[in-house]
Amino acid sequence: MTAADPLPQDVAARAIALLDLTDLSEGSTEEAVRGLCERAQRHAVAAVCVWPRFVAGAAQALAGSGVRIATVVNFPDGGEDVAGTVAETRATIEDGADEIDLVLPYRALLRGDSETARAMVAAVREACGAKGLKVILETGMLPDTETVTQASRLALEAGADFLKTSTGKTPVSATPEAAEAMLLAIRENGGRVGLKVSGGLRRVEDAARYLALADRIMGPDWVSPDTFRIGASSLLDDLIRAVETGA
């Protein structure tokens, strides 16, 4: 760390307010989600992110708290069943979801069928109405930054409110290289769409790396819960430690 770098406790305090506190484990339970919601309220994170079956319980637990409820659709495989994904989206919104994290049909994109991928995003965008739509590009499965840029532009054109790096279910999740390509596409599009970095972030240093990247590309006043999120399950522990210890 150099003299110009922010202190760990400052990074941590900034990052907590941007956190989508996540439990997408296969063994997640109603009890675990209640505990997640309690932690989310205690530390004033931006949102919780849970499986669709837990949205109604989370909505009850978080009523009036200001913590948003995100859930995932077409997750984690990024399939091509538009009608099924739209139905899932509508059901989770009825249960109380504020934000939908949709996996892009990235395999369609990779085989040159961008229209199938675009149709999925556009249909879910319509189903979301005024609710937020984050489009997961699954960047660890894309071969290069050029493809990340292509996927970013497609999602932006189809109505994404956020671009999200990863499901956290593949061998490679978020990388600075992918996040940079996504931020550049967002800036090219006018800077009104957000970025969610997700998968593999566990330490305050990880948060610092991506915050610095966003500040450099988008400017120091761009990052807020409306434009930047960090999706993680275990990161909060290290952020709290940094705030409490200053290290």
98 is catalytic: no
144 is catalytic: no
Q: Which of 131, 161, 164, 206 is catalytic?
A: 164
196 is catalytic: yes
Q: Concatenated DSSP letters for the chain? A: --TTSPPHHHHHHHHHTTEEEEE--TT--HHHHHHHHHHHHHHT-SEEEE-GGGHHHHHHHHTTS--EEEEEESTTT----HHHHHHHHHHHHHHT-SEEEEEP-HHHHHTT-HHHHHHHHHHHHHHHTTSEEEEE--GGGSSSHHHHHHHHHHHHHTT-SEEE---S-SSS---HHHHHHHHHHHHHTTS-SEEEEESS--SHHHHHHHHHHHHHHH-TT--STTTEEEEESSHHHHHHHHHHH--
Q: Which of 23, 95, 134, 196 is catalytic?
A: 196
Q: Which of 20, 23, 95, 101 is catalytic?
A: 101
Which positions are annotated as active-site residues?
A: 101, 164, 196
